[in-house]
Chain A
Amino acid sequence: MTRMLIRGGRILDPSEDRDEAGDVLIEAGTISEIAAGLDVPGAEVLDAKGAWVAPGFVDLHCHLREPGQEYKEDIASGGRAAVAGGFTAVACMANTQPVNDDPAMTDFILDRALHDSPARVYPVAAATRGLEGQVMTEMVALVDAGAVAFSDDGRTIMDSGVMRRVLDYSRLVAAPVIVHCEDRTLVSDGVVNEGPVSTKLGLPGNPAVAEIVHIHRDLLLAEQVGAHLHVAHVSTAGGVEAIRRARERGVQVTAEVTPHHLTLTDEATLGYDTNTKVAPPLRGEADVRACRAGLVDGTLDAIATDHAPHALHEKELDFASAPHGLIGLETAAAVVLDLVRSGELTPLEWVRRLSTNPARILRKSGGSLAVGASADLVVIDPERRWTYDPVKGHSKSRNSPWAGQTLTGRVVATVVGGRLVYHVDRGILV
């Protein structure tokens, strides 16, 4: 029986409100003991001195591109990028080719993940067939096949009648419906946040109200039918406020925010770098502040990457034609450590938003270092500085706004099911 001892770290387990120094013993893929000064002869020892030991991060939102667009990413490369970023599980969106709107496709993704990915993969199935916003998918069969949530993501369901029935029907399966809230008629041809920056750049603006209107609509619909709504990548102060009020009146809503919407403003787009083109767009200073405040007070439950790989030649198009999205699995933890350094989040609360809360939203295990839990965990050195070079990264794509930047905080090791799958000095180990 393999045994691993993670020695000398600061243990951060939000599920048990634990924040203390100690050693973690893993046996047979599960956490068997946590104590100070453990001595286990024969165990593989992982030194975590000066580092944090936390339950593995769970990403609610990424795009793995397989099947159909393997030139951007596949389940294997996306899974490697995930564990290199400390994510032990990722939920992948349904906009593959073909779309994941059928149990056979969910099966395929899970099968590939089992063989190719060092991270656990949780398929999000389409909410409507072909992401066309008309006919709902077979949610019961999809959940039986392993789907964890339903979403048409960027193909926002504009028909309110369809959306209402999708939410209503989802009560049968008790899985969240994840919504990308942007009213497409208000977005129109907008590609950057509408405001001083869009005016200066001369690019069509995408107004904040496009998101706010749509969040209000979906909150009202979810409230009326009593379904679990999960709002993806909230980017506006108005959106945060809408969710805060809905939660106060008892709506079953959860929400996520991305590292880029927490740390970058639309000013990052001033040089026309298409790696800053993302949906919803990077917003102004006040919106960023509101998103951070929402994450701190719990209105926004989780940090999710919206890792969206695109090939170099696609991002080398003009700003209007280049696809939306940026990659984030490998940089997320370091980027959002900013909120710990600023004092907005304690390390424990930071882990809760990357791990415990997203696992809870998906109703999956994980997000816990309790004895008996599966040993999915991450070791992070919060002080380690490194320069991010996407060419040397594990994703197939390079579309990152952080390329070339020196970041502080690095994932040292990632363990999935008791197996060391990544170590910063040794790379991917499976």
Chain B
Amino acid sequence: MIGRDLLGIEDLDRSDIERILQTAEHMGEIGEREVKKVPTLRGRTLVNLFFEPSTRTQTSFEIAGKRLSADVVNFSPRSSSLTKAESILDTARTLDAMDPDAVVVRHAVAGVPKRIADVLEAPVINAGDGAHEHPTQALLDLFTVRREKGRIDGLTVTIVGDIVHSRVARSNIYGFLKMGAEVRLAAPPPMIPAAVETLGVKAFTSLREALDGADVVMALRIQNERFAGSYFPSVREYAATFGIDRATLRYAKDDAIVMHPGPVNRGVELSHDLADHRPSVILDQVRNGVSIRMAVLYLISGRLHRGGVA
């Protein structure tokens, strides 16, 4: 059941995901019209509460909300680790007093959307929390794969890179497993989370083995400024061992597609050539993100009456 909030893919079942993907197909059609706007959420207020800046995700949610005629407000509290005068729950209560109809939350620390949802009257959509979940990213990835491959069931998906710090990886692991795919991980060993097999995936240290027969190759962004020298020795060595280019891609299936949540470090996670051209589908992912977020806003805040869920 799609609940009041969307905090993670972990909470969804397969039929919820199917329903969101199906709704997103319809939403995609709106984006192709001359006037890209429908009155569905007119009079509703959507707040983008971004404690951590993310121009891409915030813009995607803003466009999604506006295409559905919601009033979209962006609220970005200062939340550097040095200014902790206001607790996150204070912020949530303040916001709640202004009666928003839905709140999209992004925070650098896992669990904040959940704790805000616990005190907020309005539904909360998680737009990424620490290394926990980024559910709309996984939904747009599932949507993109299904469009490309016609199915998800039975596919092999290999996620490569900084798994331990990645909310995208966790949400995609849950999403692809629930939809019947096999999920493999490949990363330098310090970037494989502890006991990751408990999530139902297999971790590889050999990229070649992980890619063998893969239908989908998903590269994750490496925060090289933070982790080079600690989680892997250098960007050069990372690119040489875990970077995806046309040569390494030969281990995957002939028709494998390449995905990346963006922004790409060109020449690190993906070769220049792959970042821009098929089989990578990076811009399709971005485009589909708007449809998915419209679908989620519609399914969640569309059924909301003021002061409670219908």
A interface residues, Cβ below 8 angstroms from B: 194-196, 198-205, 207, 271-272, 313-314, 316-321
For B198, give its contact among A194, A196, A317 (CB under 8 Å). A196
Measured between alpha carbons, how far is A319 from B89 in the docked complex, in Å? 12
Could you tell me if A320 and B199 are in contact, using CB atoms closer than 8 angstroms? no
Measured between alpha carbons, how far is A194 from B198 in the docked complex, in Å? 13
Q: Which of B71-91 contact A (CB under 8 A)?
A: 81, 84, 87-90
Measured between alpha carbons, how far is A272 from B107 in the docked complex, in Å? 14
Could you tell me if A272 and B88 are in contact, using CB atoms closer than 8 angstroms? no
Task: Map CB proximity to A onto B122-137 as digits: 1 under 8 Å, 0 otherwise.
Answer: 0000000111110000
Q: A316-B89, A318-B112 are in contact. Are A199 and B132 (CB under 8 A)?
A: no
Could you tell me if B109 and A318 are in contact, using CB atoms closer than 8 angstroms? yes
**Is residue B97 contacting chain A, with contact meaning CB distance below 8 A?**
no
Task: Map CB proximity to A onto B106-119 as digits: 1 under 8 Å, 0 otherwise.
Answer: 01011110110000
A residues near B196, Cβ cutoff 8 Å: 199
For B194, give its contact among A196, A313, A317, A319 (CB under 8 Å). A196
User: Chain B nearest CB: distance from A277 CB in Å?
Assistant: 10
A residues near B198, Cβ cutoff 8 Å: 196, 199-200
Known: A198-B193, A200-B199. 6 other contacts (CB 8 A): A199-B194, A199-B196, A200-B170, A201-B110, A318-B107, A321-B81
Could you tell me if A318 and B194 are in contact, using CB atoms closer than 8 angstroms? no
Could you tell me if A205 and B199 are in contact, using CB atoms closer than 8 angstroms? no
| Residue in A198, A207, A316 with the greatest tally of chain B CB atoms within 10 Å | A316
User: Chain A nearest CB: distance from B197 CB in Å?
Assistant: 9
Measured between alpha carbons, how far is A316 from B167 in the docked complex, in Å? 22
Could you tell me if A203 and B89 are in contact, using CB atoms closer than 8 angstroms? no
Could you tell me if B129 and A196 are in contact, using CB atoms closer than 8 angstroms? no
**Is residue B247 contacting chain A, with contact meaning CB distance below 8 A?**
no
For A317, give its contact among B84, B129, B131, B199 (CB under 8 Å). B84
**Is residue B195 contacting chain A, with contact meaning CB distance below 8 A?**
yes
Pull 13 A–B residue pairs with CB atoms less than 8 Å apart, ordered by A: A194-B194, A196-B194, A199-B193, A201-B132, A202-B131, A205-B193, A272-B115, A316-B88, A316-B90, A318-B107, A318-B115, A319-B109, A320-B130
Could you tell me if A318 and B88 are in contact, using CB atoms closer than 8 angstroms? yes
Q: Which of B180-235 contact A (CB under 8 A)?
A: 193-196, 198-199
User: Chain B nearest CB: distance from A56 CB in Å?
Assistant: 37
Q: Which of B145-184 contact A (CB under 8 A)?
A: 167, 170
Q: Which of B43-91 contact A (CB under 8 A)?
A: 81, 84, 87-90
In the complex, which residue of chain B has the Cβ closest to the Cβ of A314?
B87
In the complex, which residue of chain A has the Cβ closest to the Cβ of B129?
A202
Interface size on B, residues (CB 8 A): 27
User: Chain A nearest CB: distance from B100 CB in Å?
Assistant: 20
B residues near A201, Cβ cutoff 8 Å: 110-111, 132
Measured between alpha carbons, how far is A194 from B115 in the docked complex, in Å? 22
User: Chain B nearest CB: distance from A388 CB in Å?
Assistant: 20
Could you tell me if B90 and A202 are in contact, using CB atoms closer than 8 angstroms? no
B interface residues, Cβ below 8 angstroms from A: 10, 81, 84, 87-90, 107, 109-112, 114-115, 129-133, 167, 170, 193-196, 198-199
Could you tell me if A202 and B110 are in contact, using CB atoms closer than 8 angstroms? yes
In the complex, which residue of chain B has the Cβ closest to the Cβ of A313?
B87
Could you tell me if A203 and B131 are in contact, using CB atoms closer than 8 angstroms? yes
Measured between alpha carbons, how far is A271 from B11 in the docked complex, in Å? 13
Could you tell me if B130 and A272 are in contact, using CB atoms closer than 8 angstroms? no
For B110, give its contact among A207, A314, A319 (CB under 8 Å). A319
A residues near B115, Cβ cutoff 8 Å: 272, 318
Could you tell me if B110 and A199 are in contact, using CB atoms closer than 8 angstroms? no
Measured between alpha carbons, how far is A280 from B207 in the docked complex, in Å? 36
A residues near B199, Cβ cutoff 8 Å: 199-200
A residues near B81, Cβ cutoff 8 Å: 321
In the complex, which residue of chain A has the Cβ closest to the Cβ of B81?
A321
A residues near B194, Cβ cutoff 8 Å: 194-196, 198-199, 205, 207
Could you tell me if A203 and B110 are in contact, using CB atoms closer than 8 angstroms? yes
In the complex, which residue of chain A has the Cβ closest to the Cβ of B197?
A196
B residues near A205, Cβ cutoff 8 Å: 193-194
User: Chain A nearest CB: distance from B290 CB in Å?
Assistant: 25
Could you tell me if B114 and A202 are in contact, using CB atoms closer than 8 angstroms? no
Could you tell me if A196 and B195 are in contact, using CB atoms closer than 8 angstroms? yes
Q: A198-B193, A199-B199 are in contact. Are A321 and B84 (CB under 8 A)?
A: yes
In the complex, which residue of chain A has the Cβ closest to the Cβ of B230?
A188
User: Chain B nearest CB: distance from A135 CB in Å?
Assistant: 29
Could you tell me if A321 and B90 are in contact, using CB atoms closer than 8 angstroms? no
In the complex, which residue of chain B has the Cβ closest to the Cβ of A322?
B87
B residues near A207, Cβ cutoff 8 Å: 194
| Residue in B107, B132, B195, B199 with the greatest tally of chain A CB atoms within 10 Å | B195
Measured between alpha carbons, how far is A207 from B190 in the docked complex, in Å? 13
B residues near A200, Cβ cutoff 8 Å: 10, 170, 198-199
For B114, give its contact among A198, A204, A272 (CB under 8 Å). A272
In the complex, which residue of chain B has the Cβ closest to the Cβ of A311?
B87
For B170, give its contact among A194, A202, A318 (CB under 8 Å). A202
Measured between alpha carbons, how far is A272 from B89 in the docked complex, in Å? 13
A residues near B167, Cβ cutoff 8 Å: 202
Measured between alpha carbons, how far is A171 from B263 in the docked complex, in Å? 60
Could you tell me if A272 and B87 are in contact, using CB atoms closer than 8 angstroms? no
A residues near B195, Cβ cutoff 8 Å: 195-196, 199
Measured between alpha carbons, how far is A314 from B89 in the docked complex, in Å? 11
B residues near A195, Cβ cutoff 8 Å: 194-195
B residues near A314, Cβ cutoff 8 Å: 87
In the complex, which residue of chain B has the Cβ closest to the Cβ of A318?
B109
Measured between alpha carbons, how far is A198 from B133 in the docked complex, in Å? 13
User: Chain A nearest CB: distance from B133 CB in Å?
Assistant: 7
For B111, give its contact among A194, A313, A318 (CB under 8 Å). A318
B residues near A319, Cβ cutoff 8 Å: 109-112
User: Chain A nearest CB: distance from B198 CB in Å?
Assistant: 4
Could you tell me if A272 and B90 are in contact, using CB atoms closer than 8 angstroms? no
In the complex, which residue of chain B has the Cβ closest to the Cβ of A320?
B109
Measured between alpha carbons, how far is A314 from B84 in the docked complex, in Å? 9
Measured between alpha carbons, how far is A270 from B245 in the docked complex, in Å? 39
Q: A196-B195, A318-B107, A320-B109 are in contact. Are A202 and B84 (CB under 8 A)?
A: no
Measured between alpha carbons, how far is A318 from B87 in the docked complex, in Å? 8
- 5 cross-chain pairs, A with B, having the tightest CB-CB distances, nearest first: A202-B132, A272-B111, A316-B87, A202-B131, A318-B109
Measured between alpha carbons, how far is A201 from B131 in the docked complex, in Å? 8
Measured between alpha carbons, how far is A200 from B132 in the docked complex, in Å? 7
User: Chain B nearest CB: distance from A184 CB in Å?
Assistant: 15
Measured between alpha carbons, how far is A272 from B130 in the docked complex, in Å? 12
B residues near A198, Cβ cutoff 8 Å: 193-194
